[in-house]
Chain A
Amino acid sequence: MAGAAPTPAAKTERLLNLVIALLWTRRPLTKAHIRDAVPQYQQTASIEAFDRMFERDKDELRDLGIPLVTEVIDPLFDDELGYRIDRREYALPPVDLAPDEVTALALAARAWSQASLAGAASMALNKLRAAGVEIDERSVVGIEPTIRTAEPAFDAVRAALVARQVVSFEYRKPDGSAAARTVQPWGLTSWRGRWYLTGFDLDRGAERVFRLGRVVGAVTTVGKPGAYAVPADHRPRVLVAGVADAGPPSESPAVIRLRGGAGQTLRRRAVSEVDDAGWTTVTLASTNLERLADEVAGFGPEALAISPPELVAGVKARLAGALAAAAGPS
Chain B
Amino acid sequence: MSAAERRRATPAESATARLGRLLTLVPWLLDHQGIPVEEAAATFGVTSAQMEADLSLLFVCGTPGHLPDDLIDADWEDGRIFLSNAESLARPWRFTLDEALTLMVGLRALSQVGGLAGAGTDRDGSLADGATGAGGGDAVERALAKLEAAAGAVASSESARVSVSIADDAAGAALATVSEALRSGRRVHLSYLVPSRDETTERDVDPMRLVSIESRWYLEGWCHRAEAVRLFRVDRIVAATVLDAAGAIPEQVVGRDLTAGLFVPDPTDLDVVIETGPDAAWVAEYYPTQSVTELEGGFRRLVLRTGDPGWVARLVWRLGGSARVVEPADLARSVRDGAREALAAYDALGQQA
Contact = CB atoms under 8 A, between A and B. Distances in A.
A122 B317 CA distance: 46
Given A64-B20, A126-B44, A131-B27, A13 B57 contact: yes
A78 interface: no
A185 B125 CA distance: 38
Contact of B103 (A38, A124, A325): A124
Contacts of B57: 9, 12-13, 16
Contacts of B314: 298-300
Contacts of B167: 145
Interface centre among B13, B150, B340 (most CB of A within 10 A): B150
Interface string A45-68: 000000000000000110111100
Given A100-B124, A264-B199, A301 B103 contact: no
A322 interface: yes
Contact of A192 (B64, B182, B214): B214
B198 A299 contact: yes
A105 B53 CA distance: 30
Interface in A271-330: 294-295, 297-304, 306, 312, 315-326, 328-330
A72 B335 CA distance: 80
Contact of A237 (B122, B165, B294): B165
A95 interface: yes
B270 interface: no
B225 interface: no
Contacts of A263: 198
Interface string B34-74: 00000000011100000001000110111111100000000
Interface residues of A, number: 127
Interface in B160-181: 161-168, 179
B259 interface: yes
B252 interface: no
Contact of A323 (B14, B123, B166, B336): B336
A284 to B, nearest CB: 15
B199 A261 contact: yes
B183 interface: yes
A265 B311 CA distance: 14
A123 B99 contact: yes
B131 interface: no
Nearest to B142: A101
A299 to B, nearest CB: 7
Interface residues of B, number: 143
A323 B339 CA distance: 6
B93 A90 contact: yes
B249 to A, nearest CB: 12
Interface stretch (A20-28, A201-209, A248-256): A20-28
B64 to A, nearest CB: 4
A213 interface: yes
A15 interface: yes
A31 to B, nearest CB: 14
Nearest to B193: A264
Contacts of A90: 91, 93-94
Nearest to A39: B66
Contact of B317 (A19, A39, A175, A298): A298
A323 B64 contact: no
B261 to A, nearest CB: 8
A104 B61 contact: no
Interface string B314-353: 1111111111110000001001101111110110010000
B184 to A, nearest CB: 11
Nearest to A33: B64
A223 interface: no
B150 to A, nearest CB: 5
B4 A92 contact: no
Interface string A215-244: 000000000000000100000110000000
B164 A190 contact: yes
A96 B146 contact: yes
Contact of B210 (A12, A60, A123, A142): A142
Interface in B91-111: 91-107, 109-110
Contacts of B44: 126
A81 B295 CA distance: 66
Given A100-B125, A300-B314, A321-B321, A126 B163 contact: no
B80 interface: no
Nearest to A22: B88
B24 A127 contact: yes
A103 B135 CA distance: 14
B16 A144 contact: no
Contacts of B290: none
B101 to A, nearest CB: 7
A153 interface: no
A295 B318 contact: yes
B340 A323 contact: yes
A191 B215 contact: yes
Contact of A108 (B8, B31, B102): B102
A318 B321 CA distance: 7
B298 interface: yes
A66 B91 CA distance: 13
A114 B92 contact: no
Contacts of B19: 12, 15-16, 19, 64
A73 interface: no
A12 B23 CA distance: 11
A101 B343 contact: no
A319 B339 contact: yes
Contacts of A301: 338-339, 341-342, 345
A296 B252 CA distance: 43
8 contacts: A15-B19, A16-B22, A39-B66, A108-B105, A146-B258, A162-B162, A192-B215, A264-B194
In the A-B complex, the 7 residue pairs with the smallest Cβ-Cβ separation, listed nearest first, are A321-B321, A193-B214, A108-B106, A318-B320, A118-B4, A37-B64, A91-B91
Given A87-B91, A97-B143, 15 more contacts: A8-B13, A92-B93, A93-B149, A100-B120, A118-B4, A120-B101, A143-B119, A145-B166, A175-B298, A265-B198, A301-B338, A301-B339, A303-B342, A318-B319, A326-B324
